[in-house]
Chains A and B, each alone.
Chain A
């Protein structure tokens, strides 16, 4: 570990993250820290690189420069002496077990029931006994208020129900960190509340979360910090209540005046 390695209570640390798609410079130096048990909300205009940054955290995208740590470990690389070594596919997969991710379009497995969706990874990836996993899956489905939908296929569920199953699926791996990429943007307004309720309870239980969202009410109420991104950089970061009521930067003011 290098001298810059984060303190022990820091769950995510990003240092000078740059990301290119071909010649497009998408992330232009991101520095951020998320402490354990905290909820960081990320807002910003479309195309500002919010999803890309989130996907870098669990190495769905490779960063081109900078350093990224999750729970004290470099993401996607191993440091030996002063050299970085790319991780093998199996090592990357192992790292991702501890990071849950929830997508805008749910991405449930359509050929599996709600229960099977949740049980798949703990059984296949962690090799946990089926009975143990089943009990946990049923408990999680109960927590997200879907105990009657155990045997439903995703196509038989509403968007809000699908997203809650997706959250339960991620939680079944017992992650240390949860990433949410606009989890409610694809939902009808009346279904948003149920999903946010589940996320709120998760935050209360002490889960560390990074949430890309346009739900300012949620950010204000649940977020420990709020990040405003634009053009691949963090423009402003601070206490959500302060940033939302008294933004320091013109770009933040312009954005908030459009969405609030």
Chain B
């Protein structure tokens, strides 16, 4: 921002002219208003929507328990996805051809099959292998677990969603790492830093700027994808709603209850994403854009300043 001292010079008179009219805007605006009014009218008059049922079940114990399960599933599956994604990305960028092809194969497989199929697969894993044993490969066995007790529906859902997510996250992380200038690694090497230090301290923090936005999308998408776990009998938010409307046949109101909860959580996640992006944008822009709160505060304080608004820095 250049600091021009324009306090002395008088502001030249602004042009007074009749602005261009936009009749098209008025017509399209009116159409949208009518459609919106019809929709709102339907919301309040349609008996099938049944807002009392909505109110009754919005804070229902079963629904809330389902909501918590959905959140748990989202967090854990995303955690597996992010950690697994970073590992896979590092493997793919590794100089060891065995490592990079193993990662490539993993990504190829998990991106190539539908996540719903993977979920059902994990749910039925017991029919593939009876027990899991810990020991020396092809040698003695130390401990054995029964797969049935190990892979509960929750674990099956976490594995299905998390392992699939890792494949997608690895591509996001890899793109982020590749976006960081080679000179950064060289400068760090020249200072005597080790490969892992360089990755952790120099490259990944910068890659974050590229990684965070799509990861936010992935998280929001994951929140909704967890509803697939209802098909393997895991009681998350959708299944909790289904259990209720299967008993009382109030399908639509309960689907609305579920949808509103999804929208609330995705909205919160979007706000979180905004602040996370700001945090990792450090040092990139000359000045960070103000947060909505800061903008509100600034608007409130500059409200009584005479328009046109005084330009910053010229006071």
Which residue of chain A is the closest to B196 with respect to CB atoms?
A89
Partner of B201, one of A97, A108, A124, A166: A124
Bound Cα distance A44, B90 (Å): 39
Task: Check B190 against A100 for contact (C-beta < 8 Å).
Answer: yes
Q: Mark B181-213, 1 if CB is under 8 A from A, else 0.
A: 101101111111111010001100110000000
Q: Mark A85-129, 1 if CB is under 8 A from B, else 0.
A: 000011001111101110101011111110000001100110000
Bound Cα distance A105, B197 (Å): 22
Number of A-B contacts (CB under 8 A): 77
Given contacts A96-B192, A170-B191, contact A155 B283 (CB under 8 A): yes
Given contacts A153-B282, A155-B283, A155-B284, contact A109 B193 (CB under 8 A): no
On chain A, the residues within 8 Å of B187 by CB distance are: 101, 103, 107-109, 166
Which residue of chain B is the closest to A109 with respect to CB atoms?
B202
Task: Check B193 against A111 for contact (C-beta < 8 Å).
Answer: no
Bound Cα distance A78, B293 (Å): 60
Given contacts A107-B186, A155-B285, A155-B286, contact A125 B205 (CB under 8 A): no
Which residue of chain B is the closest to A108 with respect to CB atoms?
B187
B177 shortest CB reach to chain A, Å: 14
B154 shortest CB reach to chain A, Å: 38
Bound Cα distance A200, B190 (Å): 22
Q: Mark A146-183, 1 if CB is under 8 A from B, else 0.
A: 00000001111000000000100110010000000000
A38 within 8 A of B: no
Name the residue among B189, B191, B197, B282 with the largest chain A CB count within 10 angstroms: B191
Partner of A96, one of B190, B195, B285: B190
Bound Cα distance A63, B206 (Å): 31
The B-contacting residues of A in range 216-234, CB under 8 angstroms, are none
Partner of A121, one of B192, B205, B283: B192
A58 within 8 A of B: yes
Which residue of chain A is the closest to B285 with respect to CB atoms?
A155
Q: Mark B263-292, 1 if CB is under 8 A from A, else 0.
A: 000000000000000001011111000000
A1 within 8 A of B: no
Task: Check A110 against B194 for contact (C-beta < 8 Å).
Answer: no
Bound Cα distance A155, B284 (Å): 6
Task: Check B283 against A125 for contact (C-beta < 8 Å).
Answer: no
Task: Check B190 against A99 for contact (C-beta < 8 Å).
Answer: yes
A230 shortest CB reach to chain B, Å: 25
On chain A, the residues within 8 Å of B201 by CB distance are: 120, 124
Task: Check A120 against B191 for contact (C-beta < 8 Å).
Answer: yes
Bound Cα distance A93, B190 (Å): 8
A84 within 8 A of B: no
Task: Check B183 against A93 for contact (C-beta < 8 Å).
Answer: no
Which residue of chain B is the closest to A172 with respect to CB atoms?
B191
A58 shortest CB reach to chain B, Å: 6
Bound Cα distance A103, B282 (Å): 23
Given contacts A110-B283, A111-B206, A155-B283, contact A125 B192 (CB under 8 A): yes
A5 within 8 A of B: no
Bound Cα distance A154, B286 (Å): 9
A29 shortest CB reach to chain B, Å: 25
On chain B, the residues within 8 Å of A170 by CB distance are: 190-191
Task: Check B186 against A121 for contact (C-beta < 8 Å).
Answer: no
Partner of A97, one of B181, B188, B192, B197: B192
On chain A, the residues within 8 Å of B194 by CB distance are: 89-90, 93, 125
Q: Mark A63-96, 1 if CB is under 8 A from B, else 0.
A: 0000000000000000000000000011001111
Bound Cα distance A111, B194 (Å): 19
Bound Cα distance A105, B184 (Å): 10
On chain B, the residues within 8 Å of A103 by CB distance are: 183, 186-187
The B-contacting residues of A in range 189-226, CB under 8 angstroms, are none
B99 shortest CB reach to chain A, Å: 16
Task: Check A169 against B206 for contact (C-beta < 8 Å).
Answer: no
Task: Check A111 against B282 for contact (C-beta < 8 Å).
Answer: yes
19 A-B pairs (CB sep. < 8 Å)? A93-B189, A94-B192, A101-B187, A103-B186, A105-B183, A107-B183, A107-B184, A107-B187, A109-B184, A109-B188, A111-B206, A111-B282, A111-B283, A120-B191, A121-B192, A125-B192, A170-B190, A170-B191, A173-B192
Chain B interfacial positions (CB closer than 8 Å to A): 181, 183-184, 186-195, 197, 201-202, 205-206, 280, 282-286
Given contacts A101-B190, A110-B283, A125-B197, 16 further A-B contacts (CB under 8 A): A93-B194, A94-B192, A96-B189, A96-B190, A96-B192, A100-B190, A103-B183, A103-B187, A107-B183, A109-B184, A111-B284, A124-B201, A153-B282, A155-B285, A156-B286, A170-B190
